[in-house]
Chain A
Amino acid sequence: MRKFWIYILTIIIWTEGFAQIGQIDYLVEDPDSTSLIIHLTGVNVKSYSSSFSPQDIFFKTNGSNRIDLNPVLDHLHTQNDLFLDLQLNTIGATIHFKNFQLVAGHNLRYVGAIQFSNELGNLATQGNAAFIGETVEIGPAFLYNHYHELYGGVGIDIGPFRIGGRIKLLAGNEYLRTEQNQMHLTTGAEAFELTLESDYRFFSSGILQYRGIDEVETDFDPGVYNSFFSDNQGIAFDFGLQYKIGSHLLLYSYIQDIGSINWTKRTDFYTKNERVTYQGVDLLDYLSDENGVSVQDSLYGLLDFNNEQGQAYTDNLPFRWNIGIVFQLSAMNNIEVAFGGQNYRIHNLLTWLVEYRHDFSRHLQISSRISGFGRSQTNVGLGLKWSIGPLIFTTNIANVAGIMDLISTRYNQIGFGLQVKM
């Protein structure tokens, strides 16, 4: 049965390729009076790298594929961000009445983010021999959050205002996050003694077992149905508000994913809060120990962490907010300006957008936009909303130039969705 649903969902994705991008923006839609919109499966993917694109570091030589950070060292910022945000909308529905709307559905969310210093990048590329006698910051921050959300919501029109909110029941599948990521490595000038000063703490639920730098086990499982009702329970809310000024101007703001998940399943806290200096194997131990003392083993001991298992951990979701204004230039044209932020628990990014929309007919709307995301350059994007009978196909691409070669882009966001309007 499970394979059947996989097949159906795959067919939908392949043959129809839709998304419910509009679903998250339902508060700013202005549907006709009473109607039912079914949101079929869709996908929204957002990827971002603050300093380099995959193509900058991926190389193919002599038949082997390799990663080389050397070409991008000069482009690294003091702190560098990478993330991938994937939302799979499995199913949903919105009922529009005259003065209010109801919405319900299910999403699957994946968020992965890493932040690392340029010093860590240099260290990984050149080795610590380039930093003899110096101290470098090496502690990366990371986040991986994989969870289900079942949501239900309502939007109510009160005069020029429309107020909306959603409540989401969350079921966490996997989680990994640094709570503290201070870690400094000093390489001594005389005999290269290594001093590691750490205030580092990270949490894992069901994804990582760390028993030493040479004994790391990961159990990454991106499955859709796994842990649908897991022990890791949570709740979150979305809130939105829009205000019509006259017939041509609309102001809106919303904030999403205000909530948390209590992680209780296969939990591990890893902590290292100490200053350790490794001077190599004690020569006397080496000469007197018949079993031999391994330099490698002793060196790896520098990165041992204290591990507390079975301790519950509650953490907030990554959240985002937006404020914007929509100005109707004419019956067929309007323009939208928006400013927002995305919090990925380990870093915050700001976004902006200017979008122009033109209705070619009742059935076809095409939009063009320029937008910015974090440190990315200004991106030129396109959007499409196309109705055929009861079907509404929507798509938008934040970086049209990059869509032809995703590997060469530092930022992109692509969404597809299909709605059926009853």
Chain B
Amino acid sequence: MNKYILCCLVFIALLGCIKVDEYRDLTYDKEGVEIAFPLFHSSLNISELASSLDAETSIEIQENNEIDLLYRGQIIEGGLNQIFPPVIGFGDIQISDTSFLYTVPINFWEEIITLTMGKTSLTFKFSDRFEQPVDIILEIPEMQLNGQPFVQQFKMTDGNFISQPISVEDYTITPDDLSFLIKYQALDEEGNTILMDNASFTFDFFQIKYIEGIFSPRLIDVQGDVIQVGLFDNWRSGGLTFSEPELYIRVENSFGIQAISQNNTINIVTTEGELLPLESPLLTDGVSFNYPTLSEIGEVKITEFIFDKNNSNLGDLFSGKAAKIEYDLDALINNKATNEVGFLSEDGFFKIEPIVRLPMTLTVEELILADKTDFDGSALEDLTSATVQWYIINDFPVDMALQGFLYQSGILRDSLFVEPLFVEAAIINGNNQHTPSEMIYSESYSQEDLLTMRRADSIEVIGKFNSLPTSVSVTIYNDYYLSIDAGMKASLK
């Protein structure tokens, strides 16, 4: 039916002597059209920056609005099984007589006062060459549950007997000189007491829930880790000196054992791969870890120690562009070899959390940072010329000079600015009164420039920063911000 409409229109058109086909395939003439649109914006203060940081990095705002930059290392945690792994039962343990003294299979104890069994099962075996029926009563007097000793009765009919695994979980053992007694009585059909040809027992794991006693001195190897400091990931040259860098270590402990750090090493690895050892009396002398006493079972005791420029060479090391901090701490238990009674419990733990704290009072001297990222210039295809306008507000007391370099397959093709874009530092008066610097700058690009940009596949943004005067530290407050907005005016093809 569209033909009907068309015929009408053709009829009218013929009357009007119009050549309609001359007006087919109309295109809109974009010549002279110049559009203006925003490219990107960012308004960064420290709080907003913090929200974009990775999980290990954070920012802490102090009451006076000063800020600390925190880099967290992996938290090292351990439980009872990491300090005293369960003893695995290997083979049969012979019960050589009807009354047999068995030594608790746990090392590093001077004295065990009491011990509560974990998930442990015992299996008993008996055999007799006469293959006669025998009634056996087995007892472990020092292993009790609710005041009742461990007693089992077995009936052997054909000269061999193997019991089912018998759980001894929650039985408490009060050994005498690290040993406890295992007794059995075997009666034949006439009621005579006999000595079995073979009596033995096995256990799967010797696992404890709670143990109390006097520990032998023992060094526990706590596996170390690394704190990644991303601050200098993009460092190119120059310096950033923090006035008060800190390495803060927090230890939580609920084991009732006295211990001290030992064989401690902390190394700072620079962006250039250089290994710089941290030196401090805290490392050489060790730090005593707080621990709960017998009356404080279940409580967690916290030990904190800080490496700073007063007790270490950390300040000097951080001037060297720290990329990461490697640390390894061991713990020496009962280093004083005292007779103090301690304890370990199943729900006990220790936790070591290292944090690098960088209060943002610093000097910046010719610091150059660079970052390279992918670039997609395909949207520039329809443009014949363009002007990019930058609107920058700098509220930080640091001068900045920005430049961008465009690369095609790794080969430098062009720069964003003829001269680096210089942004003055904010003016800081007393009492943190600050006046931001503000600038608008435009740079025009010809069609040839745009063609170069379109072909680029990566861009390297380089920033050069200086605090003025360079000899004086500046403090970065939370309300400082940097706003970078850019828009483009472009003529369409």
- Using a CB–CB cutoff of 8 Å, the interface residues on chain A facing chain B are 2, 6, 9-10, 13-14, 17, 43, 45, 54, 58-60, 64-68, 70, 88, 124-130, 132, 187-188, 190-194, 222-226, 278-284, 286-288, 292, 294-296, 299, 402-407, 414
Given A281-B39, A284-B42, A286-B40, verify A191-B391 contact (CB < 8 Å). Answer: yes
CB pairs A–B below 8 angstroms (8 shown): A17-B11, A67-B28, A67-B29, A193-B41, A282-B41, A299-B37, A406-B18, A414-B15
Chain A CB count within 10 A is highest, among B3, B38, B52, B379, for: B38
- Which of B157-165, B189-197, B235-243, B482-490 forms part of the interface with chain A? B482-490
The proximity string for B residues 25-45 relative to A, scoring 1 for CB distances below 8 Å and 0 otherwise, is: 111110111111111111010
Q: Determine the distance from Cα of A53 to Cα of B440 in the docked complex, in whole angstroms.
A: 43
Q: Are A280 and B486 in contact (CB under 8 A)?
A: yes
Q: Are A13 and B38 in contact (CB under 8 A)?
A: no
What chain B residues lie within 8 Å of A406 (beta carbons)? 12-13, 16, 18
CB distance from A91 to the nearest CB of B (A): 14
What chain B residues lie within 8 Å of A126 (beta carbons)? 32-34
Q: Are B32 and A125 in contact (CB under 8 A)?
A: yes
* Interface size bracket, B side: 35 or more
Q: Determine the distance from Cα of A280 to Cα of B25 in the docked complex, in whole angstroms.
A: 34
Partner of B487 from the list A17, A124, A192, A223 (CB cut-off 8 Å) is A192
Q: Are A188 and B487 in contact (CB under 8 A)?
A: yes
What chain B residues lie within 8 Å of A6 (beta carbons)? 1, 3-4
Q: Are B1 and A67 in contact (CB under 8 A)?
A: no
Q: Are A292 and B374 in contact (CB under 8 A)?
A: yes
Chain A CB count within 10 A is highest, among B8, B25, B379, for: B8
Q: Determine the distance from Cα of A130 to Cα of B440 in the docked complex, in whole angstroms.
A: 18
Q: Determine the distance from Cα of A200 to Cα of B3 in the docked complex, in whole angstroms.
A: 36
CB distance from A58 to the nearest CB of B (A): 6
Q: Determine the distance from Cα of A296 to Cα of B35 in the docked complex, in whole angstroms.
A: 13
| Closest CB pairs A-B (n = 5) | A192-B487, A280-B38, A191-B485, A283-B42, A129-B34
Return the chain B residue nearest A402 by Cβ: B16
What chain A residues lie within 8 Å of B37 (beta carbons)? 128, 192, 194, 280, 295, 299
Q: Determine the distance from Cα of A286 to Cα of B48 in the docked complex, in whole angstroms.
A: 15
Q: Knowing that A54-B23, A406-B18 touch, tell me 20 more A-B residue pairs with CB under 8 angstroms.
A: A6-B1, A6-B4, A13-B4, A43-B12, A45-B12, A65-B27, A70-B29, A125-B33, A129-B36, A191-B486, A192-B38, A193-B485, A226-B1, A281-B41, A288-B52, A295-B40, A299-B37, A405-B17, A407-B16, A414-B12
Q: Does B389 contact A (CB under 8 A)?
A: yes
Q: Are A191 and B41 in contact (CB under 8 A)?
A: yes
Q: Determine the distance from Cα of A59 to Cα of B3 in the docked complex, in whole angstroms.
A: 27
Q: Does B390 contact A (CB under 8 A)?
A: yes
Q: Are B16 and A192 in contact (CB under 8 A)?
A: no
What chain B residues lie within 8 Å of A193 (beta carbons)? 38, 41, 485, 487
Q: Determine the distance from Cα of A396 to Cα of B34 in the docked complex, in whole angstroms.
A: 46
Q: Determine the distance from Cα of A66 to Cα of B26 in the docked complex, in whole angstroms.
A: 5
Given A128-B35, A403-B16, verify A283-B2 contact (CB < 8 Å). Answer: no
Q: Does B5 contact A (CB under 8 A)?
A: yes
Partner of A65 from the list B1, B3, B24, B486 (CB cut-off 8 Å) is B24
- Using a CB–CB cutoff of 8 Å, the interface residues on chain B facing chain A are 1-5, 7-8, 11-13, 15-18, 22-29, 31-42, 44, 48, 52, 371, 373-374, 376, 379, 389-391, 440, 484-489, 492
Q: Are B391 and A190 in contact (CB under 8 A)?
A: yes
CB distance from A398 to the nearest CB of B (A): 13
Given A191-B486, A284-B42, A286-B40, verify A405-B389 contact (CB < 8 Å). Answer: no
Return the chain B residue nearest A132 by Cβ: B36
Return the chain B residue nearest A61 by Cβ: B29
Q: Are B390 and A43 in contact (CB under 8 A)?
A: no
What chain B residues lie within 8 Å of A222 (beta carbons)? 1-2, 5
Q: Are B41 and A43 in contact (CB under 8 A)?
A: no
Q: Determine the distance from Cα of A66 to Cα of B33 in the docked complex, in whole angstroms.
A: 14
Return the chain A residue nearest B26 by Cβ: A65
CB distance from A241 to the nearest CB of B (A): 33
Q: Are B11 and A58 in contact (CB under 8 A)?
A: no
Q: Determine the distance from Cα of A132 to Cα of B36 in the docked complex, in whole angstroms.
A: 8
Q: Are B484 and A65 in contact (CB under 8 A)?
A: no
Q: Are A223 and B26 in contact (CB under 8 A)?
A: no
What chain A residues lie within 8 Å of B390 (beta carbons)? 191
Q: Determine the distance from Cα of A191 to Cα of B2 in the docked complex, in whole angstroms.
A: 49
What chain B residues lie within 8 Å of A45 (beta carbons)? 8, 12
Q: Are B1 and A225 in contact (CB under 8 A)?
A: yes
Q: Are A13 and B39 in contact (CB under 8 A)?
A: no
What chain B residues lie within 8 Å of A70 (beta carbons)? 29, 32
Return the chain B residue nearest A226 by Cβ: B1
Return the chain A residue nearest B440 by Cβ: A190
Q: Determine the distance from Cα of A2 to Cα of B2 in the docked complex, in whole angstroms.
A: 12
Partner of A9 from the list B4, B15, B22, B35 (CB cut-off 8 Å) is B4
Return the chain A residue nearest B14 by Cβ: A14
Q: Determine the distance from Cα of A280 to Cα of B2 in the docked complex, in whole angstroms.
A: 45
Q: Determine the distance from Cα of A328 to Cα of B91 in the docked complex, in whole angstroms.
A: 134
What chain B residues lie within 8 Å of A60 (beta carbons)? 22
Q: Are B12 and A127 in contact (CB under 8 A)?
A: no
Partner of B484 from the list A68, A283, A295 (CB cut-off 8 Å) is A283
Q: Determine the distance from Cα of A284 to Cα of B47 in the docked complex, in whole angstroms.
A: 13
What chain B residues lie within 8 Å of A278 (beta carbons)? 38
Q: Determine the distance from Cα of A188 to Cα of B489 in the docked complex, in whole angstroms.
A: 12
CB distance from A407 to the nearest CB of B (A): 6
What chain A residues lie within 8 Å of B374 (beta carbons)? 292
Return the chain B residue nearest A2 by Cβ: B1
Q: Are B38 and A194 in contact (CB under 8 A)?
A: yes
Q: Determine the distance from Cα of A286 to Cα of B39 in the docked complex, in whole angstroms.
A: 11
Return the chain A residue nearest B19 by Cβ: A407
What chain B residues lie within 8 Å of A296 (beta carbons)? 379
What chain A residues lie within 8 Å of B8 (beta carbons)? 13, 43, 45, 88
Q: Determine the distance from Cα of A282 to Cα of B33 in the docked complex, in whole angstroms.
A: 27
CB distance from A42 to the nearest CB of B (A): 10
Given A225-B1, A295-B379, verify A192-B484 contact (CB < 8 Å). Answer: no
Q: Are B492 and A127 in contact (CB under 8 A)?
A: yes
What chain B residues lie within 8 Å of A132 (beta carbons)? 36, 489
Q: Are B18 and A405 in contact (CB under 8 A)?
A: yes
Q: Determine the distance from Cα of A188 to Cα of B391 in the docked complex, in whole angstroms.
A: 11
Q: Are B485 and A280 in contact (CB under 8 A)?
A: yes
Chain B CB count within 10 A is highest, among A126, A224, A407, for: A407
